[in-house]
Structure 1
Amino acid sequence: MAILTSTSNSGWSLLQKAQSITATCSENADAQAAIVLAYSALEAFVSQLEWLARRETDLPKMQELAVFLMALEDIRAQLKRKLDAIMVTLTSKRANWGGTPFQDLAHLKLLRDWCVHPKPVVGNTAKDVADSCEARFFVERSLIDESVLGHHVTWDNVVFVKPVAEWACETVRAVIAHVLDQLPISDAATRARLSWQRAV
């Protein structure tokens, strides 16, 4: 019987592939693929962090982190809860979902959900798309041009574009770098930093 194994660099490989797709992005499907892969890379990073923390037997904080993450995985908790657990364990504060990089991550999760659980339209008119909070989010960050909003009645033609795919990869890199900065000095932290140094 074949056994599926996980490699320590699977998350990095996913992020690398997302960046590669983004570099040559020429259609909506490319941007969607990059967004899904980037988000999946972050999920893989959190899983790797749990695996590394379990092996860090000399640091109570890392053992506590491993216990939290294993318990959250057992109940199939969403990534947001896992990141909150990581931040509470390492900094005594939850992730700041109103500031960077976590605010961007909340928008990335919504985009990822749109990719894998598609909705046909935001509204019935181009005005509905232009008025949607997600379209506004990307206009405010100069990732999409406001002038395109009046020409589409579906969000996929508006937000699944190369600049948004680039932003997705950058958001994931920023979250990973932020988490790595919070890790105590330990073998696990060193291994995590070494395996992600090419990405962040």
Structure 2
Amino acid sequence: MPGRILEAQALFSIAVEAARGIAGELRASGQIAALTSIVFSVISLEAFLNEAREVAHDVKENPSEPDVVAAFSRLMEDADRLSLESKFILSNWLLTGKRADTGSPPYQDFSLLVNLRNALVHFDPNEPWNTFEEAAALRQKKIITSLESKNILATKVLGVGSWTSSIETKAVAEWACNAASQMVLDFVGKLPQRGQWAFTVGHVYHGFKIR
């Protein structure tokens, strides 16, 4: 059958270009393009893993493919309804035979990124606020707190703000892109050293490199 069109890189480029297009200081608020970077960074990871699954399905019967290719195809089919995080963790186990260290990079930032994206696309409203002290009661406070140590949140929010005001920065946008890039790099680094699946999926990583 003809080769598939792989578009995860194109989706990732939307996130990267949104981040690059933000002018001004890294932690200046009001940069709504950062939200595009957050959402499309996760979308591109979903696309990457789905495309890896489909390529594995296409080539799994080839005698030259390692057994792990067919196993990955079956595993992803069985895990279809699981979360993106669970799919990456299962993939790590299959490819390495080891449990993923979810408390360390790149999984730690990946988990934060997914939680942040979910908070945006499954939006819960809050009462209006205009100081960070008043923001303590935000429904998204846990997510915001988890990002504070990364020094990427807005340093100052003027006027009455949404909780998104604190994440609308160039620094957050760049962090989101880097988190996605590192997850793909981690996945590609665990691929088998031979076969069409490894070659095709590994080649996709070039589109996830941030230059």
**Greater helix fraction, Structure 1 or Structure 2:** 1
* TM-score (ref. length: structure 1): 0.85
> Identity percentage over the alignment?
21
For the residues of structure 2 that align with 1:115 and 1:126, how far apart are their CA atoms? 19
- Is 1:65 equivalent to 2:72 in the alignment? yes
Distance 1:46 1:153, change over 3 A: same
Amino acid at match of 2:133: K
* TM-score (ref. length: structure 2): 0.81
Following superposition, the deviation at residue 40 of structure 1 comes to 0.3
Could you say which residue in structure 2 is the equivalent of 1:24? 21
For the residues of structure 2 that align with 1:60 and 1:175, how far apart are their CA atoms? 23
For the residues of structure 2 that align with 1:152 and 1:46, how far apart are their CA atoms? 39
Amino acid at match of 2:60: E
Following superposition, the deviation at residue 138 of structure 1 comes to 2.5
Could you say which residue in structure 2 is the equivalent of 1:110? 115
Ranges in structure 2 where 5+ consecutive residues have no aligned partner: 24-29
Superposition pairs of residues 97-176 of structure 1, within 5 angstroms: 97-121=102-126, 126-127=132-133, 129=135, 132-144=141-153, 147-148=155-156, 154-176=162-184
Contact 1:122–1:153 (CA<8 Å) still a contact in 2? no
**CA deviation string 1:40-75 (max 9, x = no partner):** 0000000111112221333111111110001112xx
- Is 1:182 equivalent to 2:190 in the alignment? yes
Could you say which residue in structure 2 is the equivalent of 1:192? 201
Amino acid at match of 2:182: A
Structure with more contact order per residue of length (Cα contacts < 8 Å, sep ≥ 6):
2
**CA deviation string 1:149-200 (max 9, x = no partner):** 7976642100122211110110000000000000101221111121221323
Tell me, what secondary structure is at the counterpart of 1:168? helix
Following superposition, the deviation at residue 25 of structure 1 comes to 2.7
Residues matched between the structures, number? 191
Contact 1:126–1:151 (CA<8 Å) still a contact in 2? no
